[in-house]
Chains A and B, each alone.
Chain A
Amino acid sequence: MRIAPASIAMALGIALAACQTTGPPPVRTTGDVTAQPSAAAETFTAEGPTAVLWVKGLACPGCIVNVERQLNAIDGVEHFEVDLASGRVDIALSAENPASRQQLRDAIDKSGFTLDRIEAP
């Protein structure tokens, strides 16, 4: 057996460095997702009807691509904005042919995440 003490020391060093990272404590993101603040809600604008989806399981920035792919495939969606921290997805719907609740529900389903609830007209 060959054991490299330097390897173990390096690994422990990195682990300790990670644990000692300073900054504000992480925000607990479990529980009621609607309780989270949302920057998206403050910046999002739409002229026609809107919908808000609350999505759970968006573990990282790359997950947004999954949601984008599915929402972009719906004709009745004009544009949208995803707030990763809160899981809030603000959607501007087409005035003539707005996406239905079922279409929005299916889109989140196909993206591989859990839809907590929909706020839509």
Chain B
Amino acid sequence: MLSRFQLAIVLGVGAFATTASSHAQAPINSNVALQPSTGGVIIRQQLRYFEAGEVKAFVVPTTILYGLRDDLTLLLTTPLVFREVKVPTTGETRRDSGVADLTFLTKFRVFRDDFGPTDTRRLSLLGGLEIRSGDSGFTSDSYDPIFGGVFTHAEGRHAFDADLLWKFNTAGGAARADQMKYDVAYLYRLAPDQYTSSKLTALFGVLELNGQYDMNGDHELFVSPGISYVTKRWTLEGTIQLPILQELDHRLARDFVVGLSFRIRF
């Protein structure tokens, strides 16, 4: 049986907690309906650090996207976990590392309305599988289907994203209930106020709400301000996630999450 510490890793910071958001103008912790072109590749490397009471952990998810068609993208996320826990009874500190469950997703665009040179609204469906890594202590040891959708609206300096994802936990047990992840995000282009042919970089302020409701009653909601610097080829971004609601009986409550991310487009 998994300890509460292990559950914090498996349920809280596994691949489901990462996102399919790997385009350029995209929120940091939420999904986006934008996609690479046919044959396009995007690699995203994240570094996330969180503390949850006696637990400290670095999670390092790597996401690779491939544009199978302009409206169909394949995504694979592999999260490495480095964790440290202080055992309260003995004062001993335990450290270990491993590979959490992998996520394979497909993103299929079902609606596109490009209504201006830099303006678009799109809706995409997401479907895939969380795949057991087999790494004892880091895996849910199951294959869990994921379904959902994401909507993006970008107009002028503003962008809005909203997503809803559902993960069916197939392993059973009260602590391993189905999960619903929901996010809303707002991006504001701080600079430049207007693109020109010589200004092909942009700085975005990002504000997100990232929630997860488990069918066993656990509910967690973070507010996540962030900053994103976008060039033609790469994006660098940082965020801090702060809890505004935590009703958790089956996994540890994270005090905060700090995230850094780098995306490169080919």
B-binding residues in A (CB < 8 A): 1-4, 6-8, 10-11, 14-15, 17-19, 21, 23-24, 26-31, 33, 36, 38-40, 43, 55-67, 69-70, 81-87, 109-114
Contact = CB atoms under 8 A, between A and B. Distances in A.
A69 B186 CA distance: 29
Contacts of A110: 37-39, 69-70
A77 B252 CA distance: 57
B235 interface: yes
B244 interface: yes
Interface residue range, chain B: 35 or more
Query: Which of A18, A19, A81, A111 is packed against the most chain B CB atoms within 10 Å?
Result: A18
Contacts of B135: none
A64 B116 CA distance: 15
Contacts of A39: 196-198
A60 B32 CA distance: 13
A105 B246 CA distance: 51
Contacts, number: 184
Contact of A18 (B39, B190, B266): B190
A102 to B, nearest CB: 16
A15 B38 CA distance: 36
Given A61-B201, A64-B232, A7 B37 contact: no
Interface of B: 23-25, 34-40, 67, 69-71, 109, 112, 114-120, 154-157, 159, 186, 188, 190, 193-198, 200-202, 205, 207, 223, 225, 230-233, 235, 242-247, 253, 265-266
B245 A2 contact: yes
B24 A63 contact: yes
A19 B186 CA distance: 12
Given A11-B225, A57-B115, A112-B109, 11 more contacts: A6-B242, A24-B194, A27-B194, A29-B117, A57-B112, A60-B230, A61-B231, A62-B232, A63-B24, A110-B38, A112-B37
Instruction: Among A11, A23, A38, A66, find the residue whose CB has the most chain B CB atoms closer than 10 A.
Output: A66
Contacts of A14: 205, 207, 225
A59 B188 CA distance: 12
B147 to A, nearest CB: 23
Contact of A58 (B35, B118, B243): B118
A112 B20 CA distance: 17
Closest 10 CB pairs of A and B: A62-B24, A57-B114, A87-B117, A60-B25, A66-B37, A7-B242, A114-B114, A112-B70, A56-B114, A57-B120
A23 B192 CA distance: 10
Contact of A62 (B117, B156, B230, B247): B230
Nearest to A5: B244
Given A26-B156, A114-B114, A57 B24 contact: no
Given A7-B242, A69-B39, A59 B157 contact: no
A2 B40 contact: no
A36 B233 contact: no
A67 B244 CA distance: 41
A60 B118 CA distance: 7
Contacts of A60: 23-25, 118, 154, 202, 230
The residue in B71, B119, B231 that gathers the most chain A C-beta atoms within 10 A of its C-beta is B119
25 contacts: A1-B246, A3-B244, A7-B243, A7-B244, A11-B242, A18-B188, A19-B188, A26-B157, A27-B194, A28-B116, A29-B117, A29-B119, A39-B197, A56-B116, A57-B114, A57-B115, A59-B120, A60-B202, A61-B231, A62-B23, A62-B230, A84-B197, A85-B194, A87-B118, A112-B67
